[in-house]
């Protein structure tokens, strides 16, 4: 079965520094894939390549058989990929509802319809009571949820989540995990970058580990966390004392 | 059109351009360090020119001799103005900054108009009528002195930024604002210092300009735009760039005045600005924005 | 919202009957207020909605004025046809500038400087176009001003007043509608955070260009009005950067990005300017420049203490 998203030998360098080096892995339809690795491993750069913010130096990003690596970010969204940003980017001057409406307007020309859809999405993310507050007044965890809501409003097939659990309390984290599980059950494919292992272990069916821009391990969660190569990249090598 | 005439015009342009360059240097420093759109820059220049005129009329003081005093007072005023009035605006959106300085410019231009009236004033010294002959070139003494003063002032400024601790601190602010704060630099003081220095540049340039042209209140806005053109063409954040840009604009305006029509010369500057913004926004010597 | 609607309707009513009990001076001042309210609103579309700071809007007013003016001067074609040419030319100019700017990533201060450069370039350029009158200016024939000749847009001052009222009210209505439409939402998203907007499927290039085109076309109309109201055009005057500054004073004082800001700002500033002139005449102060100094100080005070403009403050007080 062709994967929904196929990363094929993608490389990206910045001024001589290889941020992403020959990375390949599939994201099967309807799955949740976790992308982990130490800081600076190239995860967000990979997301930026997928989302169209940069073009890769080489390799392809294939969405349902269609090469999309040369598309602009708005075209990537139209193709069915939604994303959140590691450093949240709300529209501060707009209300919470209006923020999501902007996303929803991608699928409809009617503002009223967009507002209804947006409100529903805010409810699933437990932000509905705050819908008329300016986005600038939200706390960081709420801003992260807003960002997810906004991306969901564009009705993506694939959702790219960039460290959405950071800064959340365990209960909040679990709530969000539940939301993603339900969305996945309804057909949404998810690729997430995460440091919060609690969330990764609960959500991901498949994990890809990145280190220095390269894939060092791939597989089911239980195996990956025991893989010595993975432990090494987080903890460092054992040296003779 | 004889080559001699062209050569003379070019030399004249270079010399005037150096004075423009000093004025633009002041703006480059202000804009480069604080990202402040000083839309009152030209008006400050006009005030300096009037200061020179007044000192000459009252005390017979040659503008070049008046320079230290005018520069010192402009430095002090600039420091106080920035610290007192402008500082809160650094963080505000651009149109807000702009309106503050437009208001300031409006007040300054019209205050000059109120005090001095619309008629032109000038400084009349002996050396304005003299020139030096070098081969086929005939160089105005006044222009030569003006350019010399500009170069000296620029050199002093370069030296300050290169060799003094405070100068380096200011450059640090320009390069990395957050880093500078983390390291504990007193940004407010440094910004005020920068504005003071920029004002002092304008003061010296204004005194020099006062021996070259007639002074009217309406000169202000034109100089503001000219300063911005020079800074962008020369390259933001580059001090040599400001001088180079000044010379370039000085020469091109002089040549445009010779070949096309005197009234069309500023079209060239604006056309150049458009091209630079589109094709090479870092200007001739600046860093890529 | 209905409280606002009621107040707005009252205001509109007041403005409609205003000429009935005002003298000629007050009428001309009111016309001027409406002119700046309209033009400020046009500028606001680009800045307040799409976040692009233009300091060269005099370019569009001037091009519009000259387009319709030349058509009338050389070919006798009236302003109703002229206005379409004016709008087309200005929209094209706007799109050209916008395209160059957005394609090459020019934004913020640099974009503002680009707009100034284009306006100044045109100002000096037009001084050399003799077909348009050159520096000596273009003068449109002024026929009798007593009867309303709508075809040639000539008539008594009250006609101009109502024309401007119609334009200003129309602009308010159109902008209000735009702001609540998909385009309006997209513009605001671009203004707030362009990168996030792109990630939500917005072709920011196209929408920014649309804002520029609409803004410049709207400004063209005010240029046409200017041409047929004052009947003389000088490049030095109409393309001057002072015109650009006048255009943005209203919205900045009133509140950039708000609907009623430009209207309030224009009203306050014009009234202040006239008030100061009257005051000085009464005091016998005939000093050139004094009025502008007062003006500048007022601007300074508002910018310092009410950075978001006066309208948001007033709206909160009136609980609209």
Find the angle CA(B144)-CA(B146)-CA(B147) to the nearest 5 degrees: 65
Read off the pLDDT of residues C84-127 as tens digits, 9 standing for 90 and up.
999 999 999 999 999 999 988 888 888 888 999 999 999 988 98
- C186, C193, C203 member nearest A105 (Cβ): C186
Residue A167 belongs to some domain of the structure: yes
The whole-number pLDDT of residue C162 equals 92
Q: Do B264 and C124 touch (CB under 8 A)?
A: yes
Q: Which helix (H) or strand (E) holds B257?
A: helix B239-259
* Chain C residues touching A93 at Cβ < 8 A: 188, 191-192, 257
Percent of chain B with pLDDT over 70: 99
Closest CA to A34 of A171, A175, A217: A217
C109: phi then psi, degrees, rounded to nearest 5: -60, -40
**And the tokens for A39?**
């800081």
How close does chain C come to B81, measured CA to CA in Å? Answer: 13
Q: Which residues of C43-69 are buried (b: 16+ CB within 10 A; e: fewer)?
A: bbbbbbbbbbbbbbbbbbbbbbbbbbb
In this prediction, residue A236 has a pLDDT band, given cuts at 50, 70 and 90, of: low
Enumerate residues 6+ apart whose C-beta is below 8 A from A176.
Answer: A145, A148, A164, A165, A168, A199
The answer, for A90 touching chain C at a CB cutoff of 8 Å, is yes
Sequential DSSP letters for chain C: -HHHHHHHHHHHHHHHHGGGG--HHHHHHHHHHHHHHHHHHHHHIIIIIT----S-THHHHHHHHHHHHHHHHHH---HHHHHHHHHHHHHHHHHHHHHHHHHTT--HHHHHHHHHHHHHHHHHHHTT-GGGTGGG-EE-----SSS-BGGGTB--HHHHHHHHHHHHHHHHHHHHHHHTSHHHHHHHHHHH-HHHHHHTT--HHHHHHHHHHHHHHHHHHHHHHHHHHH-EE-HHHHSSHHHHHHHHHHHHHH-TT-SSHHHHHHHHHHHHHHHHHHHHHHHT---TTHHHHHHHHHHHHHHHH-TT-HHHHHHHHTT-
* Chain C residues touching A91 at Cβ < 8 A: 188-189, 192-193, 196
Residue C195 to residue A159: CA distance in whole angstroms: 17
The answer, for A154 touching chain C at a CB cutoff of 8 Å, is yes
- Read off the DSSP letter of residue A26: E
B218, closest residue in chain C (CA to CA): C289
Residue A241 belongs to some domain of the structure: no
C245, closest residue in chain B (CA to CA): B102
A22 close to A59: Cβ distance less than 8 angstroms: yes
Percent of chain A with pLDDT over 70: 98
Q: Do A74 and C185 touch (CB under 8 A)?
A: no
The whole-number pLDDT of residue A41 equals 81
Residue B51 belongs to some domain of the structure: yes
Q: At what angle do helices C58-75 and C108-126 cross, to 10 degrees?
A: 30
A193: phi then psi, degrees, rounded to nearest 5: -95, 130
* CA distances from residue C200 to A40, A157, A165, B169, C51 in whole angstroms, order as listed: 26, 14, 21, 42, 18
**Strands A189-193, A66-67: parallel, antiparallel or unpaired by DSSP?**
unpaired
Same domain, A206 and A169: yes
Contacts 24+ apart (CB under 8 A), C10-16: C12/C169, C15/C165, C16/C165
The whole-number pLDDT of residue C76 equals 84
The residue with tokens 């269609």 is A66
Whether A55 has a pLDDT exceeding 60, the answer reads yes
Residue B254 belongs to some domain of the structure: no
The whole-number pLDDT of residue B167 equals 87
The correct answer on CATH 1.10.1760 for the domain covering C2-317 is: no
Q: Do C192 and A93 touch (CB under 8 A)?
A: yes
* CA distances from residue C172 to A70, A231, C53 in whole angstroms, order as listed: 41, 63, 20
Q: Which chains form contacts with chain B, at 3 or more CB pairs under 8 Å? A: C
The whole-number pLDDT of residue A238 equals 58
The whole-number pLDDT of residue A241 equals 52
**Where in chain B does DSSP place strands (E)?**
131-134, 137-140
Measured torsion, CA atoms of residues B171, B176, B177, B182, in degrees rounded to the nearest 10 = -110
Rounded mean pLDDT for each run of 10 residues along chain C, 320 residues in total: 81 90 89 94 87 90 94 87 94 94 85 90 89 86 68 81 93 92 94 94 94 95 93 90 86 87 90 84 77 80 85 83
Residue C293 to residue C305: CA distance in whole angstroms: 18
Same domain, A5 and A108: no
Residue A52 belongs to some domain of the structure: yes
The answer, for C96 touching chain B at a CB cutoff of 8 Å, is no
- Read off the DSSP letter of residue A95: B
Find the angle CA(B3)-CA(B8)-CA(B12) to the nearest 5 degrees: 150
Find the angle CA(B93)-CA(A106)-CA(A71) to the nearest 5 degrees: 85
How close does chain C come to B103, measured CA to CA in Å? Answer: 5
- C182, C185, C199 member nearest A51 (Cβ): C199
Residue C294 to residue C91: CA distance in whole angstroms: 36
Report the pLDDT averaged over residues A51-68. 93
Q: Do A151 and C200 touch (CB under 8 A)?
A: yes
What separation, in Å, do the N-terminal and C-terminal C-alpha atoms of chain B show? 41
CATH number at residue A232: 3.40.50.300
**And the tokens for B99?**
């309106």
Q: Do C303 and B96 touch (CB under 8 A)?
A: yes
Q: Do A111 and C182 touch (CB under 8 A)?
A: yes
Read off the pLDDT of residues C41-74 as tens digits, 9 standing for 90 and up.
999 999 877 788 898 999 999 999 999 999 988 8
The whole-number pLDDT of residue B162 equals 87
- C112, C113, C125 member nearest B267 (Cβ): C125
What residues make up the domain containing B139? 3-217
Interface residue ranges in chain C relative to chain A, Cβ cutoff 8 Å: 180-182, 185-186, 188-189, 191-193, 195-204, 257
Residue B17 belongs to some domain of the structure: yes
* CA distances from residue B132 to B91, B137, B209, C73, C226 in whole angstroms, order as listed: 50, 8, 19, 53, 53
Same domain, A216 and A171: yes
Residues of chain B under the 50 pLDDT cut = 289
How many separate domains does chain B show?
Answer: 1
Q: Determine A/C contact with 3+ CB pairs under 8 A as the test.
A: yes
Three-state SS for A65?
Answer: coil
Residue B161 belongs to some domain of the structure: yes
The answer, for C280 touching chain B at a CB cutoff of 8 Å, is no
Residue B21 belongs to some domain of the structure: yes
The whole-number pLDDT of residue B1 equals 63
Least confident of A35-44, A174-183, B218-227, C141-150: C141-150
Residue B247 belongs to some domain of the structure: no
Residue A192 belongs to some domain of the structure: no
Q: Do B106 and C117 touch (CB under 8 A)?
A: no
Same domain, A2 and A71: yes
Find the angle CA(B119)-CA(B123)-CA(B126) to the nearest 5 degrees: 145
The answer, for A156 touching chain C at a CB cutoff of 8 Å, is no
Sequential DSSP letters for B40-96: THHHHHHHHHHHHHHHHHHH---HHHHHHHHHHHHHHHHHHHIIIIIGGGTTS-HHH
The whole-number pLDDT of residue B24 equals 95
* CA distances from residue C82 to B270, C42, C77, C121 in whole angstroms, order as listed: 29, 19, 7, 24
How many separate domains does chain A show?
Answer: 2
C179, closest residue in chain A (CA to CA): A111
In total, chain C counts a number of residues equal to 320
- Estimate the share of chain A in helix, then strand, then coil, as percent rounded to the nearest 5: 40, 25, 35
What residues make up the domain containing A62? 1-24+31-80+158-186+198-236
The answer, for B107 touching chain C at a CB cutoff of 8 Å, is yes
How close does chain A come to C261, measured CA to CA in Å? Answer: 16
Query: Mutate which of C108, C113, C237, C291 to disrupt the B interface (most B C-beta within 10 Å)?
Result: C113
Read off the pLDDT of residues A100-153 as tens digits, 9 standing for 90 and up.
999 999 999 999 999 999 999 999 998 999 999 999 999 988 999 999 999 999
Q: Count chain A–chain C contacts defined by CB atoms under 8 A.
A: 75
C189, closest residue in chain A (CA to CA): A91
How close does chain B come to C24, measured CA to CA in Å? Answer: 29
In this prediction, residue A239 has a pLDDT band, given cuts at 50, 70 and 90, of: low
Residue B246 belongs to some domain of the structure: no
Q: Do C296 and B104 touch (CB under 8 A)?
A: yes
How close does chain A come to C47, measured CA to CA in Å? Answer: 14
* Chain C residues touching A157 at Cβ < 8 A: none
C214 close to C184: Cβ distance less than 8 angstroms: no
């Amino acid at each position: 079965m062709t994967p929904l998203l196929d990363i094929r030998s993608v490389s990206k360098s910045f001024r001589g520094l290889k941020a992403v080096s020959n990375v390949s892995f599939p994201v099967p339809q309807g799955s949740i894939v976790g992308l982990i690795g130490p800081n600076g491993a190239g995860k967000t750069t990979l997301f930026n390549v997928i989302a169209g913010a940069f073009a890769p130096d080489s390799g392809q990003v294939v969405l349902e058989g269609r090469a999309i690596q040369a598309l602009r970010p708005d075209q990537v969204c139209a193709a069915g990929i939604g994303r959140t940003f590691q450093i949240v980017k709300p529209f501060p001057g707009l209300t919470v509802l209006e923020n999501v409406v902007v996303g929803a307007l991608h699928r409809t020309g009617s503002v009223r319809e967009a507002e209804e859809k947006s409100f529903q999405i805010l409810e699933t993310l437990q932000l509905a009571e705050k819908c008329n507050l300016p986005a600038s007044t939200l706390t960081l965890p709420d801003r992260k949820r807003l960002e997810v809501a906004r991306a969901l409003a564009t009705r993506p097939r694939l959702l790219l989540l960039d460290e959405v659990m950071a800064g959340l309390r365990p209960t909040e984290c679990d709530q969000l995990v539940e939301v993603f599980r339900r969305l996945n059950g309804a057909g949404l494919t998810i690729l997430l970058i995460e440091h919060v292992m609690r969330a990764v272990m609960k959500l991901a069916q498949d994990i890809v580990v990145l280190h220095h821009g390269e894939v060092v391990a791939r597989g089911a969660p239980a195996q990956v966390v025991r893989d010595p190569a993975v432990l090494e990249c987080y903890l460092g090598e054992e040296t003779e004392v | 059109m004889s080559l001699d005439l062209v050569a003379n015009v070019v030399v004249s342009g270079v010399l005037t351009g150096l004075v423009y360059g000093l004025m633009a240097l002041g703006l480059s420093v202000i804009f480069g360090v604080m990202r402040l759109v000083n839309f009152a820059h030209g008006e400050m220049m006009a005030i300096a020119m009037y200061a020179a005129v007044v000192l000459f009329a009252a005390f017979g003081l040659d503008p070049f001799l008046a320079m230290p005093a005018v520069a010192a007072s402009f430095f002090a005023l600039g420091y106080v103005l920035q610290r007192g009035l402008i500082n809160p605006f650094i963080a505000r959106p651009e149109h807000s900054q702009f309106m503050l300085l437009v208001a300031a410019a409006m007040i300054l231009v019209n205050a000059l108009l109120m005090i001095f009236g619309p008629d032109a004033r000038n400084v009349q010294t002996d050396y304005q009528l003299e020139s030096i002959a070098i081969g086929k070139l005939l160089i105005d003494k006044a222009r030569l002195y003006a350019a010399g003063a500009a170069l000296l002032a620029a050199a002093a400024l370069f030296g300050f930024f290169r060799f003094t601790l405070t100068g380096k601190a200011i450059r640090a602010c320009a390069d990395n604002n957050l880093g500078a704060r983390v390291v504990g630099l007193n940004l407010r003081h440094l910004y005020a210092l920068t504005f003071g220095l920029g004002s002092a540049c304008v003061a010296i340039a204004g005194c020099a300009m006062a021996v070259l042209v007639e002074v009217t209140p309406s000169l202000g806005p034109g100089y503001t735009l000219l300063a911005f053109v020079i800074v962008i063409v020369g390259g933001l954040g580059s001090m040599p760039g400001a001088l180079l840009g000044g010379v370039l604009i000085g020469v091109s305006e002089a040549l445009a005045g010779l070949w096309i029509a005197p009234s069309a010369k500023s079209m060239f500057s604006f056309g150049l600005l458009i091209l630079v913004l589109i094709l090479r926004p870092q200007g001739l010597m600046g860093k890529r924005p | 919202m209905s409280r606002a609607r009621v107040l707005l309707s009252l205001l509109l009513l007041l403005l409609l009957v205003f000429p009935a009990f005002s003298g000629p001076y007050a009428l001309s001042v009111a016309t001027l207020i409406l002119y700046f309210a309209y033009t400020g609103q046009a500028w606001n579309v680009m800045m307040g909605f799409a976040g692009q700071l233009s300091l060269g809007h005099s370019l569009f007013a001037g091009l519009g004025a000259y387009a319709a003016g030349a058509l009338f001067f050389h070919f006798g074609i009236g302003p109703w046809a002229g206005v379409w040419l004016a709008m087309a030319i200005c929209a094209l100019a706007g799109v050209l500038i916008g395209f160059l700017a957005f394609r090459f990533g020019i934004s913020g201060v640099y974009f503002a400087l680009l707009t100034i450069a284009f306006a100044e370039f045109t100002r000096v350029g037009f001084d050399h176009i003799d077909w348009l009158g050159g520096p000596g200016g273009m003068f449109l024939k002024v026929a009798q001003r007593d009867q309303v000749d709508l075809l040639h847009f000539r008539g008594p001052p009250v006609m101009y007043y109502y024309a401007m009222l119609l334009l200003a009210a129309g602009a308010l209505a159109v902008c209000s509608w735009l702001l609540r439409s998909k385009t309006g939402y997209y513009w605001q998203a671009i203004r707030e955070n362009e990168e996030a907007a792109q990630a939500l499927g917005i072709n920011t290039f196209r929408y920014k260009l649309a804002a520029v085109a609409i803004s410049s076309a709207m400004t063209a109309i005010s240029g046409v009005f200017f041409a047929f109201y004052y009947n003389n055009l000088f490049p030095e005057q109409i393309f001057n950067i002072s015109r650009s500054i006048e255009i943005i004073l209203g919205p900045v004082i009133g509140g950039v990005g708000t609907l009623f800001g430009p209207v309030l700002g224009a009203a306050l500033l014009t009234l202040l300017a006239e008030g100061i002139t009257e005051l000085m005449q009464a005091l016998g102060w005939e000093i050139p420049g004094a009025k502008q100094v007062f003006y500048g100080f007022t601007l300074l005070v508002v910018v310092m203490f009410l950075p978001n403009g006066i309208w948001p403050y007033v709206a909160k007080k009136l609980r609209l």
